[in-house]
Structure 1
Amino acid sequence: MTDEKGPAETQRAHWQDTYTAHPGMYGERPSGPAVHAAAVFRAAGAHDVLELGAGHGRDALFFAREGFTVRAVDFSDTGLDQLRDAARARNVTERITTLVHDVRDPLPLPDDSVDAVFAHMLLCMALSTTAIHGLVGEVRRVLRPGGVFVYTVRHTGDAHYGAGLAHGDDIYEHGGFAVHFFPRHLVDELAGGWTLEEVFPFEEGELPRRLWRVTQRAPG
């Protein structure tokens, strides 16, 4: 693991406790961004999907049901245990593999090894800007030429931005949950060397949370 300290160091325990206390906390229905991503991936001819921050697997299970082969990555082994149990119950175990991994470290996958990558709110966890740039560099490394990356992040227009416990680097914590809120220029920086296809604003949840759904394509 990297030597980077700060709020990210406490988030693994937070999520382990959360998944233990609330199994399947996000329900069984896929997220809206995952439904969109599946259509984008299918149109791009993708077969295998890497999901970063898969949690207990509602979106990984959806991708598997849609016919994709899925590699589900999360730093919570508790969440991934729940994902594997759900995959067995739904007879899609042959389509899903899981990996406990901290995304601040290099992805343990070969270059050019996946067709598509999906990350719903993973990039806006308690990661420094430096770590986020490093992760997107890793995504580009493991994507095959022309591969598609769809991710979502809460942005600086969100009602929680600037409130709660400030950790610096646009990271604010509410109730033990730390979020890195994205300014637009960070989205543009992360798309450097990619084709930025879409930055779509949407809302989710009761606050509501305000997010961007970003679609970008690796060089062909």
Structure 2
Amino acid sequence: MKADRVRWNQKYQDESHPLEPSNVVKRFFRMAKKGRALDLACRNGRNALFLVGKGFTVDAVDISDIGLHSIPRRSEGLNLICADLDDYDIPQEKFDLIINIRHLNRRLFPYILEGLAPGGILIFETYLEEKGKKSKKISCRDHLLRSNELLHSFLPLQILYYIEKREKGGAAIASLVGVRPK
């Protein structure tokens, strides 16, 4: 959607974004065999670049061409894809690792499951709704998980790790790591 691209491009021009990979990615990426990885809504590529450095071949997808242009092109093993995730087709059984960090598109849930190769690992972390509190980071409740929603959405996986917690700085998040049965 063009309006989404414009909004995200504006965010990349106006805000700074972390350069360090996500803690949940650093903690759990080793569970996946080195092979193909998919980084959904990769933003500035911090997690994709980390995974390339660890030996993965990564498809990094984001709607923002400005965000993607900020990613160093010298990274062999990194395939940058500018696409709206509402229209992006995740190839079936292709990925040994799929990461989805700080983005919520419920329509993708079944396609994420199908995109994992047998034995593939999913690392998913995003914002969580809190009863009686308005998120400072997210303006629309549709972009917030409900309690245990992430867990229930990925029950076809063997769940290795799941937590709902408050981050330092106040945002509530849910984190899940699961493996697709072989």
State the TM-score, normalizing by the size of structure 2: 0.86
Q: What SS class does the counterpart of residue 159 from structure 2 fall into?
A: strand
Residue number in structure 2 paired with 1:117: 98
Structure 1 distance, partners of 2:8, 2:28, is: 25
Is 1:12 aligned with 2:14?
Answer: no
Paired residues for 1:14-163 under 5 Å = 14-22=7-15, 25-41=16-32, 45-83=33-71, 86-88=72-74, 93-107=75-89, 109-123=90-104, 127=105, 132=106, 134-157=107-130, 159-161=133-135
Query: For the aligned residues, what is the CA RMSD?
Result: 2.5
Q: What SS class does the counterpart of residue 212 from structure 1 fall into?
A: strand
Larger CA Rg, structure 1 vs 2: 1
Change (3 A) 1:38 1:193: closer
Residue 106 of structure 1 contacts residue 135 of structure 1 at CA under 8 Å; is this kept in 2?
A: no
Structure 1 distance, partners of 2:58, 2:88, is: 19
Q: What SS class does the counterpart of residue 76 from structure 2 fall into?
A: helix
Structure 1 distance, partners of 2:150, 2:166, is: 17
Q: Which runs of 5+ in 1 are unaligned?
A: 2-8, 172-179
Q: What SS class does the counterpart of residue 43 from structure 2 fall into?
A: coil
State the TM-score, normalizing by the size of structure 1: 0.72
Residue 117 of structure 1 contacts residue 143 of structure 1 at CA under 8 Å; is this kept in 2?
A: yes
Structure 2 distance, partners of 1:163, 1:95, is: 32
Change (3 A) 1:156 1:27: closer
C-alpha deviation, 1:164, in angstroms = 8.4
Structure 2 distance, partners of 1:147, 1:75, is: 25
The percent identity for this pair of structures is: 22
| Runs of 4+ with deviation above 6 angstroms | none
Q: Which runs of 5+ in 2 are unaligned?
A: none
Residue 153 of structure 1 contacts residue 211 of structure 1 at CA under 8 Å; is this kept in 2?
A: yes
Residue number in structure 2 paired with 1:4: none
Change (3 A) 1:190 1:60: same
Instruction: Select 1:192's aligned residue among 152, 155, 158.
Output: 155
Residue number in structure 1 paired with 2:175: 213
C-alpha deviation, 1:201, in angstroms = 3.1
Structure 1 distance, partners of 2:172, 2:180, is: 26
Structure 1 distance, partners of 2:34, 2:31, is: 9
Change (3 A) 1:30 1:50: same
